[in-house]
A and B are shown apart, each in its own frame.
Chain A
Amino acid sequence: MILTFIITSIMKLTELIFSVLPSLPAMPTEIINGTAWIITSIQKMTSLLMMLFNPIIFTACISTILIALNFNYVYQSIMWIIRKIPLLNIK
């Protein structure tokens, strides 16, 4: 209840602030249609890969590959968070 109240209040406040501002023009329909085709293609190919590779294997392997390829960034991000914890006292 408390968290619901806090989160809802923040969202209501955001809506209140933005309701005062004017609306910006929307993205042209041609661009939206073009990106919709890209998304549909991604969805179809992912669906195919999920079926061929098994969702668990596919998710685990792709996640591992992405982490391994970006290991430096992942390591630095984790260490940045860990250094913020005063109890650990890691410099």
Chain B
Amino acid sequence: MIRISGLTTKKHKLVYAIIFLFPLILTLIPHQAHAWTGDFQTPSYQSYIEQWDWPRAMSKGYIYNAYSDGDYPPATYPDFDPENTSYIIVQKPTGSTDLIIYFTKSDQDKIIIKSDENGNYITSTRADGLLFYAQIADRPKTFFPNNYYLDASDSNSTTTKIYSIGYPLGSNNIAYDSTYSGRTYNNKIGYTSSDSPISCSPLDFGCWITKAFDGVTDTLKKFGQAMLKPFVWLWIPDTTQIKAQFDDTNAMLIEKLGFLSFPFVFLGDVISAFTNNTLWCTDGNCKIDTGNLFGSNFTIDIMALKNMNSDLYNATVIIMRGVLIMITISAVYHAYMRVIRA
């Protein structure tokens, strides 16, 4: 018989039961919720799909290098997240096929891109009504609101709202489900034939076995993910919520403590000065304004040396790195010798 130390009285048993049952109940509730909502579908996604047709097939893939330019704030444009990007192919009643890309970084930040009637490019209407254009292409392209697009390298406008999606899909990154035929998709978007799903002939047992193993693997993966989600929901803290709460508390404490909080604020600023230091120097630009420290304003342009004499610049960098590494080795050596002597 298994005896648990300390589990002796009825009171103790009740406490232990609550400790174990409470997380279990909380775990089961979100599990049911996830099972009901499915993998990635959300109400807004569903309502959009119903405007077109039922999805004939679904696929998932990867998309890269999405960014915005011009006068539109990049911060409000979400990055493409491979894990949260879904590709949905819909068969419209007219017979034409459309590709819808659905990607999101959070529940508050959803974007749906759909192909237009010609299928040449993909448009999206954000929640704020802004329309922009993008394309699944083999190289970066830039699209303007008047349906005219250029290669990204030809873009010289900074006033037009421009959005580019570069190198969006690798042909091996798309996994189709069994209901997808692939023909219309290829003709419409221009994928190569290698993107088409492999159809097994009746006597091709290797193909059928591979498909069966793939199906089992996918099922196990989905099962594992479904089991993991509720535990993650229960035990992994919501960083966004905690950060927001921490920021509120921090602001309130700074206000209440007044000058007493200044050393902590200063220490935090110094640490962030070391960590967030990409403001002045990048690979192509490093101009440091010294202010009026020496009586007059002047700027130190480190990159000027690189532009004037790249060999001298590279040699200087190598020597400085060598000196830093030698200092490190020397410090470690002296620390080692101190230990040995002790």
Contacts and interface: CB of A to CB of B under 8 A. Distances in A.
Interface of A: 1-4, 7-8, 11-12, 14-15, 18-19, 21, 23-27, 31-32, 35, 37, 39-40, 42-44, 46-48, 50-54, 57-58, 60-61, 64-65, 68-69, 71-72
Contacts of A46: 273-274, 277
Contacts of A19: 252, 256
B281 interface: yes
A49 to B, nearest CB: 8
B328 A51 contact: no
Contacts, number: 134
B15 interface: no
B282 A68 contact: no
Given A43-B277, A71-B335, A23 B241 contact: no
Chain A contact residues: helix, strand, loop or mixed: helix
Contacts of B233: 1
A24 B277 contact: no
Contact size range, B: 35 or more
A24 B334 CA distance: 47
Contacts of A2: 23, 26, 234-235
A36 to B, nearest CB: 8
A14 B128 CA distance: 38
Contacts of B259: 24-27
A11 B243 CA distance: 11
A31 B265 CA distance: 13
B294 to A, nearest CB: 13
6 contacts: A1-B238, A3-B235, A47-B277, A47-B278, A50-B278, A71-B335
Interface of B: 23, 26, 233-238, 241-242, 245-246, 248-249, 252-253, 255-260, 262, 266, 269-270, 273-274, 276-283, 286, 288, 291, 302, 316-317, 320-321, 324-325, 327-328, 331-332, 334-335, 338-339
A24 B254 CA distance: 9
A53 B317 CA distance: 7
A44 B235 CA distance: 40
Contacts of A14: 249, 253
A3 to B, nearest CB: 4
B274 A23 contact: no
